Structure 1
Amino acid sequence: MTTRPRTARRLAVTCVALAAFATGPAAAPTATAAPGGLAARDFPGSRDAPAVRTLPATLPDGVTDAALVRVAGRGMRTPYTGTAGPVEADARFPVGSVTKVFTDALVLQLVAEHRIGIDEPVRRHLSELIPAAYADVTVRQLLDHTSDLPRPVRVPLDPHGVVAASFAADAAAGPGRTPAPGTVQQYNGLNSFVAGLLVEQVTGRPFVRELDRRILRPLDLRRTALSEDPSTAWAWSEGGLTSTAADLDAFLRALLDGRLLPPAQQRHLFEVPAVPGAAENTGCPTPAACFSAGGLMGIELNGTKVWGKTGSSGGWTSGVFASTEQHRRTAYTLRPGTPATPAQQRARVEAVVKAALTDQSRAGRH
């Protein structure tokens, strides 16, 4: 099921966009009041420590009410963990669409086991759920968001119910619509619902059990689990996880180090389809596609290639990221202030990730 890396690979993860799908109110991370500014443990020997600390040290402000930032990687004897506002360093928080990366890793493990093919039609396994019009949609297209599936109906149903209701609503809104999979990238949470159901169908076991035995237990992610809060639990394989910054960092490190996927499948983490992005695509900073066949976004910050995923749920915006050049990883959660605009929130996420993962000396040259 897992393969140890043959060599240490120079891989990465970040993104700078808020997730499109906020899954409703959820319990806030365990919080304690902070007097203002960042409560941080320094990481000795890191020349980038000031850049990482400068921005969070100004929080909370009108854009961000609370922040938790963790940075780890090369040049750091210990990880840096800092907080601002009412949130603790070991807080558990809803990670929203970061859940998609866990789900995609499960699917790619099944590809590695030859139980499904990445270019195999999904309908072969879910014929009673996927309409005939979508018979050509492949597993790869679910993962890289080029499936042209309808948008999810945001109703608190079981996963089968969410998918069925979404197809029904699409048929009613556009009767006779001809899907065009593989032609454009549209970030879409329904892909992840279908991917979770595919895991269940192929393994014959509940998604939550496969998640536990394939990822959570092997990596000792004891504080990561699907939410039990009804307002977020229905997001399931699309956005239902809760976790901590330390657990998210451990997952990211294992994913990039090759502990979850063999090389043949790990390369899919960085394969972005050569298609345009939809005009309303969430997160991609250019008109081109940016999501890979492993659910990660690939972009450049300060001339550094970074990959990763954000998520938004329960009033918190979270993310996991890594940098190829700086060999750094970060995990964070931010609580937006009121009345912070989406553009301000997006800029704040980008500023945090830049400070954590990129060479600040390049900022003026790119």
Structure 2
Amino acid sequence: MTPCSRTIRRLATTGVALAALVTAPAATAVPGPSAPRASPSTRGPAAVRALLATLPDRVTDAALVRVAGRGLQPPYTGRAGRVAAGGRFPVGSVTKVFTDAVVLQLVAEGRIGIDEPVRPRLPEVIPAAYAGVTARQLLDHTSDLPRPARVPLDPYAVVAASFAADATAHPGRIPAPGTVQQYNGLNSFVAGLLVEQVTGRPFVRELDRRILRPLGLRHTGLSEDPVIAWAWSEGGLVSTPADLDTFLRALLEGRLLPPGRQRHLFEVPAVPSAPENTSCPTSAACFSAGGLMRIDLNGVEVWGKTGSSGGWTSGVFASAGQHRRSVHLLRPGAAATSAQQRARVEAVVKAALLG
């Protein structure tokens, strides 16, 4: 039995439908610069503390924010509303950065080339029309793969049904990988299957032995809640603010990748962002070959990733040079609009990092 087959059997036992696959909230991007730089008296933890003092409100029911970095020992953690400071939370699409780190480790080991087409590795999954799609294009979302389909739970079926549905809905469509960036969770499903094919082991086992155990992330792992676990390598992890900060710091400090591959974390393709791509704040691509978003906040370059799952929005960000890192977990209010939620995320990240 192949690792993919074992994954299918293991996950299929939950019997949970994947109806949320295309209706789950997309990852929330941090909009570009719009507000003035905070004054010295309100920078960093002080600014976050002041913001949290205004919560909860109609936009945010609860919040948990961790700020770490230069001059912050120990890191600052603040909360508002009903939220446990030491609890585990679903982190949604932040999972993608963990998945991409595993793929880049395999690239560093020479087990797959970053610009190698992936179809020969997964011929039973990827149609011939997508024969040119490379590992890099999965990671930086320029693969032009179709959107995930609504199918019963299991990663293999998600991928297969997605291509089948796209062929039916768009007969004769000619894929154009490498020409535009379209944030798409199917890339991460395929990346997870690629890890299994290359290593001969289940994705969750590789994630554990390559990332979680070496970094001591004892509170991070695939969710046991089938409503969340369906997202697998795309968005199925639960974690804590401390674990997420440990991961982000290790990733950016080069403790997970050798120097020759560390550069991929910051390689953003010189292509436009698709018009329907709401994850990037401008018309240019913003995701790197390591799955990180490059965002400009008042002239400060920051890198990170957002996610949404289980009623929470999450995010990890760091300013250039890691002078500051932030982790946030926000529970949106029932009546909050997407625009209001994006503005709140922007406010939190600015308060945390622009100090």
Shorter-chain TM-score range: 0.7 to 0.9
C-alpha distance after superposition, 1:207-227 (max 9, x if no partner): 000000000000010000101
CA distance in 1, matches of 2:304, 2:267: 13
Structure 2 equivalent of residue 335 of structure 1: 331
**Partner secondary structure for residue 172 of structure 1:** helix
Q: Given the alignment, which residue of 184, 206, 214 partners 1:218? A: 214
Matched, 1:117 2:110: no
Q: Which amino acid aligns with 1:125?
A: R
Q: What is the deviation of 1:51? A: 1.5
What residue in structure 2 maps to residue 322 of structure 1?
318
Alignment counterpart, residue 177 of structure 1, candidates 173, 178, 186: 173
Residues 44-82 of structure 1 show CA distances to partners (whole Å, capped at 9, x for unaligned) of x99633222111111000000000000100011210011
The runs of at least 4 aligned residues of structure 1 exceeding 4 Å deviation read: 20-24
Is this contact kept in 1: 2:57–2:333, CA < 8 A? yes
Deviation digits for residues 247-283 of structure 1 (CA, Å, limit 9, x no counterpart): 0000001101111001111100000000000001132
Query: Distance between the aligned counterparts of 1:240 and 1:111, measured in 2?
Result: 23
- SS in structure 1 at match of 2:53: helix
Aligned residues of 1:21 and 1:97 also touching (Cα < 8 A): no
Q: Which moved more, 1:146-155 or 1:103-112?
A: 146-155
**How far apart are the structure 1 equivalents of 2:275 and 2:343?**
20
Match of 2:130 among 134, 144, 162: 134
Amino-acid identity (%): 80
Where does residue 292 of structure 1 map in the other structure? 288
Q: How far apart, in 2, do the equivalents of 1:324 and 1:91 lie?
A: 29
Kept in 1: contact 2:67–2:75 (CA 8 A)? yes
Task: Note the C-alpha offset of 1:156.
Answer: 3.6
Q: Tell me the SS of whatever aligns to 1:319.
A: strand
TM-score (normalizing by structure 2): 0.88
CA distance in 2, matches of 1:112, 1:21: 33
Query: Using the alignment, how far apart are the partners of 1:262 and 1:208 within structure 2?
Result: 22
Q: Is the partner of 1:180 in helix, strand or coil? A: coil
Counterpart residue number, 1:305? 301
**Structure-2 change in CA distance of 1:22 and 1:174 (3 Å):** closer
Deviation, structure 1 residue 300: 0.5
Residue 265 (structure 2) pairs with residue 269 (structure 1)? yes
Q: Paired residue for 2:242, among 229, 243, 246?
A: 246
> In the TM superposition, what whole-angstrom CA distance separates every residue of 1:127-168 from its partner, at most 9, and x where no partner exists?
111000000000000000000000001434210000000000
Which of 158, 179, 182 is residue 154 of structure 2 equivalent to?
158
Deviations 1:197-252 (A, max 9, x none): 00000000000000000000000100001012111111000000000000000000
Give the deviation of 1:23 after TM superposition: 4.6
Correspondences of 1:203-214 after superposition (within 5 Å): 203-214=199-210
Q: Give the TM-score normalised by structure 1.
A: 0.85
Classify the secondary structure of the residue corresponding to 1:58.
coil
* Partner in structure 1 of residue 352 of structure 2: 356
Give aligned pairs, total: 320
Provide the C-alpha distance between the structure 1 equivalents of 2:283 and 2:341, rounded to a whole number of angstroms.
21
Once residues 278 and 47 of structure 1 are traced to their aligned partners in structure 2, the CA distance between those partners, rounded to angstroms, is 35
Whole-angstrom distance in 2 between the partners of 1:325 and 1:110: 26
CA distance in 1, matches of 2:248, 2:86: 17
- Structure 2 residue aligned with 1:101: 97
Deviation at 1:325, TM superposition (A): 5.5
In 1, are the aligned partners of 2:48 and 2:78 still within 8 Å (CA)? no
Judging changes above 3 Å, is the alpha-carbon distance between structure 1 residues 168 and 309 closer, same or farther for their aligned structure 2 residues? same
Partner amino acid, structure 2, of 1:133: A
CA RMSD of aligned residues (A): 1.6
